[in-house]
């Protein structure tokens, strides 16, 4: 029984390798309407993207 408990504890920490952060798979649309994909891990807020000039970019993100 003790071995099973130790295995479960180790497994639970192994699954939370992102430190409890929320990870997202995002498709971001540039101003020229081309797309790129980016993976983001953060505190749980929906990711927001800007280009190098500070323009807001549209994106669609889903939980990983």
Q: What is the pLDDT along the chain (64 residues), one digit of tens a residue?
A: 544 445 555 544 444 455 789 999 999 999 999 999 999 999 999 999 999 999 999 999 999 8
Q: What is the DSSP letter of 45?
A: S
| Stated pTM of the model | 0.65
pLDDT of residue 28: 98
Rounded alpha-carbon distances, angstroms, from residue 36 to 27, 41, 42:
6, 17, 19
Compute CA 50 distance to the chain's CA centroid, rounded to the nearest angstrom: 17
């Amino acid at each position: 029984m003790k071995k099973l408990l130790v295995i479960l504890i180790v497994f639970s920490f192994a699954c939370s390798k992102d430190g409890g952060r929320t990870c997202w798979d995002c498709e971001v649309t540039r101003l020229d309407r081309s797309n790129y994909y980016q993976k983001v891990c953060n505190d749980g807020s929906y990711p927001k993207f800007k280009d190098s000039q500070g323009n807001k970019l549209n994106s669609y993100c889903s939980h990983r």
